[in-house]
Amino acid sequence: MPAPVIKILETPEEMNAVEALQRSVWPGSETDIAPAHVFIAAIHNGGFVAGAYLEDQLVGFVFGFPGIEFTPDGPRPKHCSHMLGILPGYRDSGVGFALKRAQWQMVRHQGLDHITWTYDPLLSRNAYLNLTKLGAVCDTYRRSEYGDMRDGLNAGLPSDRFQVDWWINTRRVERRLSKRPRRPLKLDDFSKAELEPLYAPHVARQPFGTAQSAAGNWPRPPEHFSPLEGRLILAEIPSDFSALKEADFALARDWRFFTREVFETAFAAGYIVTDFVHDAGRSFYVLSHGESTLEQ
């Protein structure tokens, strides 16, 4: 697939196209569609909307706006990246990365150094983009961030989210966005270091991460996880949570509440999510104790 053409969007007609695109990305709930006038108001006050085009077709967009965060030293400005939407047929093709890179360039031009956004921590595709490709980090877990959501992707589950921090002027981020980024981590990198996962999902008959033929074959969270020890820990999630949810909704809820406990416990103990591994049909978060890896 050719590289997408990225364009800053500003006109009412372009915002109408973004509004229409949302209906294909998040189907099923018209009330959850952000209207064109919201985008227009945001971009007239420092916000940013960019679209990705392939053969003149809008296939994705990113939307963010200026915000304020409150620190021990007082309030400071940041950029809040609120929406990233890509048509289903164009995911995993570099469109999301290209849109976020354009956002990185624009926000740096505005003189800001921090971008935040939220995503569902059980979605491995999003985790791989945000952490592995972009170099964001996370130490904030938000329960039911958006309340009861009604669109086809989120309805029925608590809208728990990671809030990630993208420190856009760090060496870590600049390296991930460069023409020669660091290679993605593999499971061998951790097995050589004799690093064991925090827990092992229960799997019936088929290896974890392989194609599942029945709901009973999906990986199930264990009853407990090991004590948090060491500088690095690995926390496994289902590799295809969307398919798991469609096959066994009750099991998806179990994963939501289990991983909620895992990440809230880890963040309270001083761990930070610093990377994500998707390899051999398995998906793991990498959590580091302290901030020693922020420049990697």
**Which amino acid would we find at residue 270?**
G
**Which amino acid would we find at residue 89?**
G
Q: How many CA atoms lie within 13 A of 106 on its CB side?
A: 25
Residue 294, burial from CB neighbour count under 10 angstroms (0-12, 13-18, 19+): middle
Strands 48-54 and 232-237: unpaired
Q: What is the tens place of the pLDDT at every residue in 100-137?
A: 999 999 999 999 999 999 999 999 999 999 999 999 99
Cα 165 from chain centroid (whole Å): 11
Question: What is the set of domains in the chain, with CATH numbers?
Answer: 5-176 (3.40.630.30), 187-289 (no CATH)
pLDDT band at 39 (very low <50, low <70, confident <90, very high): very high
Strands 74-86 and 114-119: parallel
Q: What is the reported pTM?
A: 0.91
36 and 94 in contact (C-beta within 8 Å)?
no
292 pLDDT higher than 80? no
Nearest to 151 by CA among 32, 1, 45, 241: 32
242 and 251 in contact (C-beta within 8 Å)?
no
